[in-house]
Amino acid sequence: MKMKTYKADTLNEAMSQVKSDLGPEAVILKTKKSRQNFLGKNREVIEVTAALEDKLYEKPSKVQEEVFENSAGIYSRAGVNSISSSHKTEQLNKPLRPNGRHTLNGILSPERFNGNRNQEVRSLPTDETLSPHFDKQIEKLHGDFKKLLTKVTHIEQSLEQLDYEKIIPEFQPLYHYLIRCDFGDLMARELMVALANVVPESKRNDRKYVEKVLKRIVSNRIQKPHPFRIKKGRSNLFFLVGTTGVGKSTTISKLCGVYHYEKNLKVGVISIDHYKLGAYEQMFLLCRSMDVPFESVYTSSEFETALDNLSDCDVIFVDTYGGVLSDNEKLLELNTLIEKYKPEEVVLTLSCTMRSKDQLSIYSKFKDSKVSSFVFSKVDESDSLGCVYQTSLSAGVPISYLGNGPQVPDNLLEAESSELASMILKSGGVFESY
C-alpha cells in the first residue's frame, strides 16, 4: 500500500494534491490542522494523509473459499453447495475494492478497511451461533408486541369514551381543521372535549375567547420544554441523531453559534458521519468559520482520543450518521457508543415536513438510543405544525429546540410552552376556518 501525507493552506488544495498524485481512488485516512514554521513565522496548514492499495482492482490469484453477496455485504463459508456455478463465477469475476474510509469517488464503510482484501470476507454465522441470537430477538419482539397491544387497547377505550362525549356543533369546524393540520383524531377530540368543558355556552361563538382558551389548554398539555442542561466544570456531551436530510448538521452549527456566541461557552464538535457525501467538508468549514474545534473519527478508540482533545470544552456536539435506520449494524454501533459514553442528551432531529405518523415511526426505531428530547427542524417549510404537538405527546418526549430557517445561528428557537402553543395553533391558519 502506498501512503503519503500532503500539506496545503486549504482543504481543497490538499485534496487536489491527493487526486493529482494518487488518483481518484485514493483513500483518505486522516485530516488535521497543524502549525508549520515558514521563513521564521508559524502558519496554520491542513494535513491530509491518504493511501492507495497497490493492486486495487486485480482479481485474487487464488480463491480458497466460495464467495457470495447478500444484502448485508460480502460473506464466505467453505463448502456451500447451494450456489450455482454460474453465480459463483459471476461473483468471483467482480472486482474487489476495500470497504474503507473516504475515497475521492465515494464513501465506504470505515470499520471494514484495514488494507487487507482477504480480511474483507467474513464467516457466515452457523446455526449454533444464530439460535441464541434468534431466541433473544423473539423474546424481545414478544415483549414489544404485548406493550403495543396494551397501548392499542388503551387507545380504543379512550376513543369509545370520547365517542360518547359528542363534539358540540360550534366546535366541529375547528375539530375537522385540527385533523387536517395533523393533530390526529384522538388528540383533536380530546382538545374539543376539554374546550367544551371550559368555554361557557355564551362564549362558544366568540372566536378570540375560544382561541385564548385553546392556546392555554395546548400550552398546559404539551410536553414541558426541555432546554439543554449544562453542568459546570465538565464537558457536556450531546448526541444528535436522526435520518438523512432532516438537518442534523445545520442544527449542530446553529447550536454551536448559540452556545459559543450567546452563552459564552467553549464548544467542540465530533463527527462520526463519513457516509453522506460532503458531510465532513460541510461540518469542517462551518466549525472553522465559527472558530469551533472539530474532530472527525472512524473508530471507538479515535472517539476516545477526540474527547481527550476536546476535554477543555464545556459542550461537545456529536454529529451522527443519518443512514443508520437502513443498516442495523451501524445502528447497533451508534447505540453501543451512546451506552459507553452516557451523554447528557440524545437529541432526535425530526423534520416538520413529515407527517406525525412518520415522525413516530422514526422515533420508535431510535428508542434503543435513549432519546431524551426532540429538535423539530424546517418549521418554516411546513404548512402546519400539528405534528409537533401530536408527536411530542404520543412519544412522551419533550421538545428542546425548533429550527425555523437557514440562518446560522439566528433561526433556532428554544422551546417555550406558551410560544410553542401559539406557533402550533397559528400555523395552517387554524382559527381562520373557525
- For the chain, counts of helices (H) and of strands (E): 13, 16
| SS3 state of residue 198 | helix
Please give the C-alpha separations between residue 434 and each of 171, 185, 190, 389, in angstroms, as whole numbers: 8, 18, 18, 20
Which of 53-57, 211-215, 311-315 shows the lowest mean pLDDT across its residues? 53-57
Most confident of 9-18, 95-104, 147-156, 253-262: 253-262
| The residue to which cell 427542524 is assigned | 377
Q: What is the mean pLDDT of residues 402-410?
A: 82
| Whether the predicted pLDDT of 119 surpasses 60 | no
* pLDDT, average across residues 80-103: 45
Rounded to whole angstroms, what are the CA distances from 212 to 74, 180, 198, 422?
61, 21, 11, 10
Residues 50 and 13 sit within 8 Å (Cβ to Cβ): no
Which residues have CB under 8 Å from 39's CB, separation 6+?
A: none
For range 296-316, the mean pLDDT = 91
Q: Please tell me the predicted confidence (pLDDT) of residue 431.
A: 57
pLDDT above 60 (res 274): yes
Q: What is the pLDDT of residue 182?
A: 87
**Which strand ranges, in their side-by-side order, compose the sheet holding 267-271?**
294-296, 267-271, 315-319, 236-241, 345-351, 373-377, 399-403, 412-414
Residue ranges of domains in the chain: 2-123, 236-415
Task: Using the predicted structure, report yes or no on whether residue 384 has a pLDDT greater than 80.
Answer: yes
How confident is the model at residue 158, as a pLDDT?
61
- pLDDT mean over 332-347: 92
C-alpha cell at 269: 464538535
pLDDT band for 114, please (50, 70, 90 cuts).
very low
pLDDT over 70, % of the chain: 73
C-alpha cell at position 189: 377530540
Residue 78 is predicted with a pLDDT of: 39
Average pLDDT over every residue of 234-250:
90
CB count, 10 Å around CB of 163?
Answer: 10
Give the pLDDT of residue 358. 93
381 closest CA partner among 411, 401, 404: 404
pLDDT of 57 reads 38
**Cβ contact 39:86 at 8 Å:** no
Q: Residues 6 or more apart from 183 whose CB is under 8 A from it?
A: 191, 386, 389, 390
C-alpha–C-alpha distance, residues 67 and 80, integer Å? 9
Q: How far apart are CA 50 and CA 26, in angstroms?
A: 6
Higher pLDDT, 338 or 111: 338
3-state DSSP assignment of residue 387 = helix
Mean pLDDT of 94-98: 45
Phi and psi torsions of 256, nearest 5°: -60, -45
The per-residue b/e assignment along 69-81, b for 16 or more CB within 10 angstroms, e otherwise, is eeeeebbbeeeee
Answer whether residue 186 shows pLDDT above 70. Answer: yes
Q: Is 80 exceeded by the pLDDT of residue 426? A: no
The CATH code that applies to domain 236-415 is: 3.40.50.300
Coil vs helix vs strand at 163: helix
